[in-house]
């Protein structure tokens, strides 16, 4: 028997997510979740489990893509490690709490929450804030207990909607005077922590102890490992392409095109 063509779609989906990550400074998590909701039934995921598997698998794939991004930013010195340290405990706690909460929510309700998040993201990306140019001057380095609370909220929301948190962490750091390039780099390291904690929450949930008959082979809890690895590989390869495109095309136009796509997705999910 040959390989089912649907399996080839996961690396292709990863390529799209990787380009978006490099081009628009987002991890593509929302795109991944929506696409997975459409694709997973074709590989045997039961309708009742589709949204949960989409969230868990998206987060598992983000572990790979965010790690690649964080490593690249580390080499360029654009990671604010003290800020990561203050955010980290909250991100981990929020990721675990958010994923475990989502496991108790019906898929239709989660789809509505994701749809609403898409619309909020669409509004934000339709009118992007001016990007502060990178300078040789050192950025302020946000520190303090308030980052623990902020990290908890970011981790929880990210776990519920299946993202790496960049759309929340980057604006937070930028509002404290951090240059965009360093805010994105710091956010990528935070995304690794969010993805690990959240994916673990979905993997070690009730489905891990008593596998759901609606979950196909290769699933660890609600994480479908083959799909996550395929997406992660594609995104790892494609992220540099997006970075190169970002230097050639209008960021504002691209951001608004993506905002339109998010708005359509949000309306459909709602």
- Write out pLDDT tens, residues 110-153: 888 888 887 887 887 677 665 555 454 566 889 999 999 999 99
In which band, very low, low, confident or very high, does the pLDDT at 159 lie, cut at 50, 70 and 90? very high
Percent of the chain scoring above 90 in pLDDT: 29
The H or E element spanning position 223 is: strand 223-224
Q: How far apart are CA 226 and CA 239, in angstroms?
A: 20
What digits encode the pLDDT tens for the residues 143-158? 999 999 999 999 999 9
Domain containing 47 equals 5-128+136-269
Q: Indicate whether 101 pLDDT > 70.
A: yes
SS3 sequence of the chain: CCCCHHHHHHHHHHHHHHHHHHHHCCCCHHHHHHHHHHHHHHHCCCHHHHHHHHHHHHHHHHHHHHHHHHHHHHHCCCCCHHHHHHHHHHHHHHHHHHHHHHHCCCHHHHHHHHHHHHHHHHHHHHCCCCCCCCCCCCCCCCCCCHHHHHHHHHHHHHHHHCCCCHHHHHHHHHCCCCCHHHHHHHHHHHHHHHHHHHHHHHHCCHHHHCCCCCCCCCEECCEEHHHHHHHHHHHHHHHHHHHHHHCCCCHHHHHHHHHHHHHHHHHHHC
Helix (H) or strand (E) holding 219: strand 219-220
Number of compact structural domains in the chain: 1
Taking residues 160-182, what's their average pLDDT? 82
Q: Are 43 and 91 in contact (CB under 8 A)?
A: no
Give the model's pLDDT for residue 110: 86
Model's pTM, two decimal places?
0.84
């Amino acid at each position: 028997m040959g390989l089912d063509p649907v399996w080839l779609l996961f690396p292709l989906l990863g390529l799209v997510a990787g380009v978006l990550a490099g081009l628009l400074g987002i991890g593509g998590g929302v795109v991944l979740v929506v696409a997975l909701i459409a694709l997973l039934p074709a590989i045997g995921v039961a309708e009742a489990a589709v949204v949960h598997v989409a969230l868990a698998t998206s987060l598992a794939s983000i572990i790979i893509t965010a790690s690649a991004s964080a490593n690249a930013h580390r080499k360029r010195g654009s990671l604010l490690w003290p800020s990561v340290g203050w955010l980290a405990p909250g991100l981990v706690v929020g990721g675990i709490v958010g994923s475990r909460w989502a496991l108790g929510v019906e898929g239709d309700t989660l789809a509505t929450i994701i749809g609403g998040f898409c619309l909020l993201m669409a509004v934000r990306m339709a009118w992007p804030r001016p990007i502060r140019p990178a300078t040789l001057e050192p950025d302020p380095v946000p520190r303090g207990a308030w980052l623990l609370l902020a990290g908890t909220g970011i981790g929880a929301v990210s776990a519920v909607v299946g993202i790496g948190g960049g759309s929340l962490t980057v604006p937070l750091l930028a509002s404290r005077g951090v240059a965009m390039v360093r805010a994105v780099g710091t956010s990528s390291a935070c995304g690794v922590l969010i993805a690990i904690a959240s994916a673990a929450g979905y993997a070690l949930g009730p489905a891990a102890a008593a596998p759901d008959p609606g979950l196909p082979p290769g699933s660890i809890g609600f994480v479908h490992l083959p799909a996550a690895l395929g997406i992660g590989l594609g995104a790892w390869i494609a992220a540099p392409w997006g970075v190169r495109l970002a230097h050639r095309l209008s960021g504002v136009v691209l951001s608004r095109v993506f905002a339109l796509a998010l708005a359509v997705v949000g309306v459909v999910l709602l």
